[in-house]
Structure 1
Amino acid sequence: MWRDEAATWQVAQRSTAEIWHLLANVDVVHGLYYLLMHVLFTCFGPGTTTLRLPSVLATAVAAACVAVIGRRVAGSWAGLAAGLAFGLLPAVQFHLQEGRSYALVAAGAAISTLFLTTVLQRPARTRHWAAYSTTVLLTGLLHWLSLMILAAHLATLLWTRAGRAVLARWAAAAGCAVAGVLPLIVFSRGQSVQVAWIPPLTWHMLIGPAVLLAIGGTCALPDRPRAGRLSAATVGLPLLAVPQLGLIALSLLQPVFLDRYVLYSMLGLALLIGAAVGAAVRAARPRFPTASRWILPVTLAVAMSALLPQSLATRSPASRVDDVLAIASDIRHLKRPGNAVLFVPPLRRDVKSLTPDAFAGLRDIALAVPPEKSGTLRGVETAPDRIRAALLAEQRVLLVTDASPGARPARGARDRMKTAVLHRYFVPVADEQTRGRRVIVYERRSTPR
């Protein structure tokens, strides 16, 4: 369980009042997801299956929607290939198996796109637009960057030359959804310090989006996209390109470039891949009717074989930046009754929240208010001078921190104080590193350095 999943695990097990207290301080952008997981944990009990199964099911829903959309706009072979392609995409495989909201956001984006194609192909009814608006609203509440899908849908409407009545109804539905999410957007801006760790946009970060757009554009060529016609290209290209380009544009104002924020753009890529496979089947059918039926199975087998090493690697603990649970056994055999424990940075206290039994008998000497009572993920620590005084009264201290090489220098007065006192007055006697986490045991020096 890596650090982002650990946040879900911690928050989902808090009471509703404690969750609201937390959202007033941090992570309000994930508020609806945390409340959903709280309900699931209450109904089915906390466990990694309950934690991750919603993402698996959401990905299945998204794949099904892509398949239906592909069948409608490019035929049954294209639809089947699109649904299968979505499940095989590496980015999708990475996020379908973890306890975060991004797979659910992708499912919401897929459902709303399915509603959009419905109103473009059939006589639209008020309930269709209401369902579309509600889906976009709920998806936006799960993560408000998903609202960029509205720009993608507008591009599809303009490309297909939708009538004024359709555009007017879409504008009303989109406006209602945005109005519902707007308070969340405004409030979350006050918590923007949470994404301060994201590095500024650089040229090498654009390689991934450029490759995806190149693949999508190439797959769209056999579809012969034309204005005024609903096709895989008129739906898939905006769905792929607009979120990617929108995230890049936002990152020029504030660094937020993380591919998981636009995981739902993979819906467009899968749709375009499916359309390319469908076009190949149609092209081969007149001359090779029997062989044409094997194009999709052979393509699927080749893709699965080529992606198998990466798929297996994605499912290993090494695929994540750390494993919060991995060092619990190290804590158990390194600790002694009455020892002190420190966390640098304080967010590494998540391992204590997840495995409190491993820390039984250890004193968290820097903690003033626990995470649950303080409405935070890391708790509130006491003043630096008090941390220094408490440390100088100890003979043996366990430090829980990040493992090299991903460890960052200590930031903030408290963390700098911790490391400075440990370096001068203590000597390390044990050091264990496991899956991105590190435990160092310090014992008091006979004379300060």
Structure 2
Amino acid sequence: MSCRRTPVVWAVPVLWTLALGLWGLTRQGSVWRDEAATWQVAERSPGEIWRMLANVDVVHGCYYLLMHVVFEWFGAGVVSLRMPSVLAGAVAAGCVAVVGSRLGGVWVGLVAGTAFGLLPAVQFQLQEGRAYALVAAGAAVATLLLVNALQGEGRRWLWAAYGGVVLFAGLLNWLSLMLLAAHAVTLLWCGAGRRVWARWAVASGAAVAGVLPLVLFSRGQAEQVSWIPPLSWQMLIGPTVLVAIGCAGALVDRPRVGRLSVTAVGLPLLVVPQAGLVLVSLVKPLYMDRYVLYSMLGLTLLIGSSLGAAIRTFPKARGWVLAGVLGLATVALLPYSLAKRAPESRVDDVLAVASDVRRLKGDGDAVVFVPAARRDAWLVSPDAFAGLRDVALVEGPRESGTLKGIEAEPGRIRDVLLGERRVLLVTDAKDIARPARAARDRAKAEVLGRYFRVVADEQVRGRRVTVYERLPVGVSVPGGPSGR
């Protein structure tokens, strides 16, 4: 394949990844709790977002501001919520393809770029209204800039662009700064000269300095990730398998110290973020594979190296062989691909439960949420809750600078509920619900279970709506069920 046709190296993976991202993008109009957080914050003004970040979710602040602009331009909706991730995934695939082609040849680039969009972890994040695909795109662009610089194109603007891209990725998720450690290993592997090290250090230092305030401030909000379980050996199975696959691909590349190669770039990019997150998680539980989604860039480069070498052995049918391999991989992953594009693929669906509320509510009804975070259904679909009174709420999320608002004290909640005739409880479905721990939530459950009777109870995609009617005054159910 001649140099004149090299645009195909990035064009095919970009179009392929776009197609995978657009396929079933709306998931039948479903939105789950993490995406609901993005949705409801993006609809706030920049001032309201800034105020909220002082209290919660500062690590996602850059992404929320970006999504605010997207919603301002294109309107709030499922497509606009997820399209940035689709586009970011396509950018990452294109960059991987170019890096692979420069280091290993056209066929390595084509395989690496097309494989990226097929990886299960990538397919999942391609259709998520969260920042992880954008972080992967930033890491891919930064890696391409680094390769350009190491191949003798070390103009100052390349290093400035490198620092800027790393800074942007770090502001989206500061764990992406482990990319710098991976790139440092690449520089060591290749025996980079002092000038390269100096320019890389300046660009990297500027990026770290820009992200450091976010890192320090976010430590005060560490309670937000307290739900992440401690690291266990079972959690290490997946990363170990990925690293083993990557090492197999590295052997095919026949890496040599002192040479810029697919392995010199891909193996550190795969191993260092995974190992770094494991080490961090030994101190503070943080291991979630999506936090290092960008390490999949390294895996696909190594896959491209091994499969690209195999394809080159068929000089007269390379295109057909690539198409066959891609087709087989697509068919093999089809059950997963279909499952992750179904509404049931996520833990819940805030839009589905909002539809149930719209159907079950009546004039003068009250509504409560257990836990308070389930108020996200109201925040994303306010029309569905129109006419209902959120009787536990004393200050809304926007006004209080929080994600879920501020509720009254348990005693006040109890008194208010006792004066209601009908109450809708929005909570988690039975199979995923946890016992009420907060005093406010226990007060809601106790009053509803003791002084009300259930007249309707429906569950849909991880959420539950229960309609309660007040028992006659003086009648109660001692030790009655809480409805959970």
Using the size of structure 1 for normalisation, the TM-score is 0.97
Structure 2 residue 392 is the aligned partner of structure 1 residue 366 = yes
Aligned to 2:275: 245
By how many angstroms is 1:253 displaced?
1.1
Match of 2:85 in 1: 55
Structure 2 unaligned regions, length at least 5: 1-30, 479-484
- Among 200, 205, 215, which residue is 2:230 paired with? 200
Task: Give the Cα separation in 2 of the matches to 1:15 and 1:32.
Answer: 14
Shift of 1:216: 0.9
In 1, Cα distance between the equivalents of 2:402 and 2:117?
35
Correspondence 1:138-157 to 2 at 5 A: 138-157=168-187
Counterpart of 1:218 in structure 2 is: 248
Structure 1 distance, partners of 2:75, 2:422, is 37
Alignment match, 2:166? 136
Match of 1:377 among 388, 398, 403: 403
CA distance in 2, matches of 1:135, 1:429: 55
> For 2:283 and 2:448, how far apart are their aligned partners in 1?
39
Deviation at 1:291, TM superposition (A): 4.1
| 1:265 is the counterpart of 2:295 | yes
Question: Which residue number in structure 2 is paired with residue 46 of structure 1?
Answer: 76
Q: Secondary structure at the match of 1:190?
A: helix
- 1:13 alignment partner in structure 2: 43
Residue 463 of structure 2 aligns with which residue? 437
Match of 1:226, SS state, is: coil
Across the aligned residues of Structure 1 and Structure 2, the Cα RMSD in angstroms comes to: 1.1
Listed one character per residue, the Cα deviations across residues 108-144 of structure 1 (whole Å, up to 9, x for unaligned) are 0000000111111114121111111111001101111
Residues 266-415 of structure 1: matches in 2 within 5 Å?
266-282=296-312, 284-285=313-314, 289-415=315-441
**Which letter maps to 1:311?**
S
Say which SS state the counterpart of residue 122 (structure 1) adopts.
Answer: helix
Give per-residue Cα distances to partners, 1:28-47, cap 9 Å, x unaligned: 11111111111121122222
2:265, 2:432 → 1: CA distance?
40
- 2:95 corresponds to: 65
Structure 2 letter corresponding to 1:305: V
Task: Tell me if 1:165 matches 2:195.
Answer: yes
- Name the SS for the 1:227 alignment partner: coil
Question: 1:445, CA displacement in angstroms?
Answer: 3.0
**2:445 counterpart of 1:419:** yes
Tell me the distance in 1 between the aligned counterparts of 2:301 and 2:74. Answer: 35
One-letter identity of the residue aligned with 1:411: R
Alpha-carbon distance between aligned partners in 2 of 1:10 and 1:96, rounded to the nearest angstrom: 20
Q: Distance in 1 between matches of 2:69 and 2:137?
A: 19
Q: Distance in 2 between matches of 1:290 and 1:138?
A: 44
Shift in Å, 1:413:
1.1
**For residues 126 and 313 of structure 1, what CA distance do their matches in structure 2 show?**
46
**1:274, distance to aligned residue in structure 2 (A):** 0.7
CA deviations 1:6-47 (Å, max 9, x no partner) are: 111111111111111111111111111111111121122222
CA separation in 2, counterparts of 1:430 and 1:190? 42
Cα distance in 1 between the residues matched to 2:245 and 2:454: 52
User: Equivalent residue for 2:152?
Assistant: 122
Instruction: Tell me the SS of whatever aligns to 1:326.
Output: helix
How far has the Cα of 1:292 moved from its partner? 4.4
Q: 1:164: Cα distance to partner?
A: 2.0
Q: Which runs of 5+ in 1 are unaligned?
A: none
Task: Say yes or no: does 1:95 pair with 2:122.
Answer: no
Q: 1:199 & 1:139 partners in 2: Cα distance?
A: 25
Task: Give the structure 1 partner of residue 8 of structure 2.
Answer: none
What is the aligned partner in structure 1 of residue 55 from structure 2?
A: 25
Larger mean CA deviation between 408-417 and 176-185 belongs to 408-417
For the residues of structure 2 that align with 1:252 and 1:91, how far apart are their CA atoms? 23
Deviation, structure 1 residue 255: 1.1
Alignment TM-score, normalising by the size of structure 2: 0.90
**For the residues of structure 1 that align with 2:61 and 2:196, how far apart are their CA atoms?**
33
How many residues matched? 445
Name the SS for the 1:406 alignment partner: coil
Give per-residue Cα distances to partners, 1:146-190, cap 9 Å, x unaligned.
Answer: 101001001111111111221122111111100000001111111
SS at match of 2:425: strand
Match of 2:363, SS state, is coil
